């Protein structure tokens, strides 16, 4: 019994906690209908996000790693490579809006998830977490932890580029079928 426990503990030392398995990889973004962070009257659903490759980034004002990640997200937003949709997770609306006003807003759209229901449906362990979603609304990758330039260049950007190429190919195929009809 001690030997078996020792093997599991030894193996655990070499696991990367940022690459936790996600039960949702390969599945659609969960159904949701939540308000926009900046405007409680404007509702957003998962259907509003379909049609292009995007990053869904879970963040909060109480999260120190989110503060570390924020300048990198601002830099990515300025490059306009891929839309970044924020999910403000278990936070206070006023504090979150104030933080984005003060620090800059990298998000194309911000979803307010005060109770963490969407986060729970996504299987979020904590903030920050990022999900790469394809043009069909399918989660293709989950990254736990702050995104920085190394993570972007080595992990996220190659996948985003691949998914954007897949989307463009699918769009061309649809256009070709439409002309043939």
Q: What is the pLDDT of residue 9?
A: 59
Number of Cβ within a 10 Å radius of residue 71: 13
Q: Which two tokens stand for residue 31?
A: 């159904």
Cis peptide before 19 (omega within 30 of 0): no
175 — pLDDT class (breaks 50, 70, 90): confident
Per-residue pLDDT reduced to its tens digit, 30-49: 999 999 999 999 999 999 99
Q: What is the pLDDT of residue 33?
A: 97
pLDDT > 80? residue 14:
no
- In angstroms, the CA 155 to CA 143 distance is 9
CA angle, 34 then 36 then 39, to 5°: 125
Q: What is the pLDDT of residue 174?
A: 77
Q: What is the pLDDT of residue 60?
A: 98
How would you label 88-98 residue by residue, b for 16+ Cβ within 10 Å and e otherwise? bbbbeeeebbe
Q: What is the DSSP letter of 152?
A: I
Q: Do the beta carbons of residue 156 and residue 133 sit within 8 Å?
A: no
Strands 139-144 and 129-133: antiparallel
- In angstroms, the CA 160 to CA 70 distance is 19
Per-residue pLDDT reduced to its tens digit, 63-97: 999 999 999 999 999 999 999 999 999 999 999 99
């Amino acid at each position: 019994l001690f030997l078996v426990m020792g093997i599991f503990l030894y193996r655990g030392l070499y696991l990367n906690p940022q690459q936790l398995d996600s039960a949702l990889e390969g599945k659609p973004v969960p159904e949701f209908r939540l308000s926009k962070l900046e405007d409680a009257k404007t509702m957003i659903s998962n259907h509003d996000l379909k049609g292009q490759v995007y990053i869904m980034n879970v963040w909060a004002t109480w999260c120190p790693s989110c503060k570390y990640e924020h300048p990198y997200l601002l830099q990515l937003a300025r490059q306009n490579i891929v839309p970044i949709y924020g999910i403000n997770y278990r936070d206070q609306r006023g504090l979150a809006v104030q933080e984005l006003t003060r620090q800059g807003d990298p998000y194309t759209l911000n979803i307010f998830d005060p109770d963490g229901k969407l986060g729970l449906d996504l299987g979020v362990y904590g903030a920050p977490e990022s999900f790469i979603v394809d043009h069909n609304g399918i989660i293709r990758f989950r990254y736990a932890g702050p995104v920085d330039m190394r993570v972007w260049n080595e992990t996220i950007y190659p996948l985003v580029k691949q998914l954007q190429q897949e989307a463009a190919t699918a769009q061309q195929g649809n256009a070709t079928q439409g002309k043939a009809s």
